[in-house]
Structure 1
Amino acid sequence: MSDLIRSLRLFVRLSEEGSFSALGRRQNLSHTTISRAIGDLEAHFGIRLFQRTTRRQTLTRDGERLLEHAVAILDQFGLAEADLAGTVAARGLVRVGVTTALGLHYAQRLGALRDRHPGLMVEFLVADWREAAAGGGLDLWLQVGEADAPDGVALGLLPRILVAGPGYVARHGLPRTAGELSGHECLAYGYAARSEPWPIEGQDLRVSGFLRANSSEAVLRAVLGDLGIGLLPRIQVAEDLARGLVVPVLPEAAIPPLPIYVATGFRGMRMPMRARVVMDFLVENFPP
């Protein structure tokens, strides 16, 4: 590999890691090696890539321009290597924002992706609220509801179900109608700072209970602890339902599923191959 390609690759990884020390630890490289690569690029292009202070470093405007070119160059270089080698392999770090239920679902299926792309590294940011979805530095993130970007890709619909623990049902019984939920302990979570109403049988029900959380996993653990009724993604409770650890509540009730999209941080830029293969993985492995 030429020195220029190697330097470009280190430059892209440095912009991802945010600091020389973080990149050095991850790549097992000395500060001197990284500094020399960045210095070579600055000398080659006659520009300054980073604005450095005692506390942090940020890309200069020229650095941002070179980063966009470098990602495209390395992507094409990787495609050429893969084509001539007869394989398609992606390399590099891909940061993905996922909801709890889907993050757990996808994490169990990453083996095939790793085997096909051993040079790839996937980092999950797990969060159940919209404000965290488009956090800084993410390449891809799952989005609940309508896509807010023209390049968002629809993954599918995520069914939901009402469940409770057997102990709770033994003490309080089961509601017979959606309206009776107001008399029960309802454990809420949501994708906004304030819990959203439960849309059941065409009604937007304002429910309340002992616990409100921004994590669906926390709500599920509370349901398993017999604290109340939860409205959760079916894939998140499927195993517990099968084992009898939770029971369905109003199983025939009409509950609209959650539309899920995947958005990208490469708006206006060519998506690198490392991100494309992860997006394909998200699409292909979305729950049927």
Structure 2
Amino acid sequence: MDRLTALRLFLRVAETGSFSRAAAEAGVGQSVASRAVATLESELGGRLMNRTTRSLALTEAGQRVLEHARTMVAESEAMEAAVRGAEREPVGLLRVSASVAFTRAELAPVAGDFLAAFPRMRLDLMARDDRVDLIAEGVDLALRLGALEDSRLTARWLGRYPRIVVAAPGLETAHGAVASPADLAACPTISLTSSAFPTRWPLANGREKAEVEISPVIRTANGDVLADLARAGLGAALAPGFLVKADLEAGRLVRLLPGWSAPPLDLSAVWHGRGLPRKARVFLDFIAARLGVN
């Protein structure tokens, strides 16, 4: 088995969390998918996945290989499309639905690169925080965070974003140092009304767990507003990693309680019908290689 084929199978195992599902999607036996991962581990000299009878989890090395696999597979497919010629190049308008905050943080920054790679494509980025009816509004592809509800749709799990506690740099100066989850009781907090944890934050640091009851001074339904309020120093916020990554890197926000986090936020791509149109699949594979999910 060549390296690229093995990486494709490894990628699908990591994304689906299942050897059997990955094998079924690829049209091969489960033993082929298992052998692909085992071959990579042997060639690379390290374990990529920790397997149990009920689940599997990527090791630190596996996370790094996953990032490279996404990039290599996306680039390979783009190259194959170019070789096949313009007559098979994806063409036309692609309507993509996602929340406003996710579109701004994750989709807008890579839209230019995508259009440069596929110049005959056009994008309609439907940045909305309400749950869009894909069928009624003619949406080709939706990227959704959290639990999926509509069983009529086909879904592909893309990964998870960590949820961490962040605040403006001056918050601890004003309200006291936050050395443990219990210290959050002395801090004002900001909450997302759409979050699974609007009034309590279930935090964990390895095997150590804590549940913090909060009384938000402000609630908002929009992730960008949540980040704005946190940057303004109005309170600590529990936020998904994609939402605050740039602010943390720029020092506009700091992470409180390093090591502690809430249950991660799942990201899934969903669409209507079993088959995904090629233009949507090309876009999905392109962005999946560049998203900051684990």
**Do the two structures share a fold, i.e. TM-score over 0.5?**
yes
- Counterpart CA distance in 1 for 2:148 and 2:100 is 19
Range that drifts further, 211-220 or 254-263 = 254-263
2:166–2:237 contact (8 Å) kept in structure 1? yes
Structure 2 equivalent of residue 152 of structure 1? 155
Residue-by-residue CA offset, 1:149-180 (whole Å, 9 max, x unaligned):
47200110111221111232221123332233
Of 241, 258, 267, the residue aligned with 2:273 is 267
In the alignment, the residues of structure 2 paired with residue 212 and residue 123 of structure 1 have an alpha-carbon distance, to the nearest angstrom, of: 30
Q: Percent identity?
A: 25
Residue 170 (structure 1) aligned with residue 169 (structure 2) = no
Shift of 1:86: 5.5
Alignment of 1:1-288 (within 5 A): 85=85, 88-103=88-103, 104-128=105-129, 131-134=130-133, 136-137=136-137, 138-148=139-149, 149=151, 151-191=154-194, 195=198, 197-201=200-204, 202-264=209-271, 266-268=272-274, 270-288=275-293
Distance in 1, Cα, partners of 2:97 & 2:265: 17
Deviation at 1:248, TM superposition (A): 1.3
CA distance in 2, matches of 1:164, 1:192: 17
- 1:211: how far off? 1.4
Deviation at 1:237, TM superposition (A): 2.0
Q: Is the 8 A contact 1:174 1:249 kept in 2?
A: no
Letter matched to residue 231 of structure 2: L
Following the alignment from structure 2 to structure 1, what is the Cα–Cα distance between the partners of residues 86 and 95? 27
SS at match of 1:110: helix
Structure 2: tracts of 5 or more residues without a match: 1-80
- The Cα shift of 1:258 comes to 0.9
Contact 1:190 1:196 in 2 (8 A): no
Aligned-partner SS, 2:215: coil
* Deviation of the 1:87 alpha carbon: 6.3
Q: For residues 260 and 181 of structure 1, what CA distance do their matches in structure 2 show?
A: 28
Distance change >3 Å, CA 197–CA 284, structure 1 → 2: same
Report the CA distance shift for 1:108/1:88 in structure 2 as closer, same or farther (over 3 A). farther
Contact 1:189 1:214 in 2 (8 A): yes
Whether the 8 Å contact between 1:100 and 1:126 is mirrored in structure 2 is yes
| CA distance in structure 2 between the aligned counterparts of 1:237 and 1:255, rounded to whole angstroms | 15
Contact 1:157 1:257 in 2 (8 A): yes
Q: Distance in 2 between matches of 1:87 and 1:203?
A: 57
Question: Alignment RMSD, CA only?
Answer: 2.9
Q: How many residues align?
A: 204
- List gaps (5 residues or longer) in structure 1: 1-80
Query: In 1, Cα distance between the equivalents of 2:168 and 2:211?
Result: 24
Partner of residue 14, structure 1: none
Cα distance change on mapping 1:242 and 1:117 into 2, 3 Å: closer
1:66 matched to which residue of 2?
none
CA drift of 1:271 comes to 2.9
Deviations 1:88-126 (A, max 9, x none): 421222221223443222211122320222221212223
Structure that is richer in strand per residue: 2
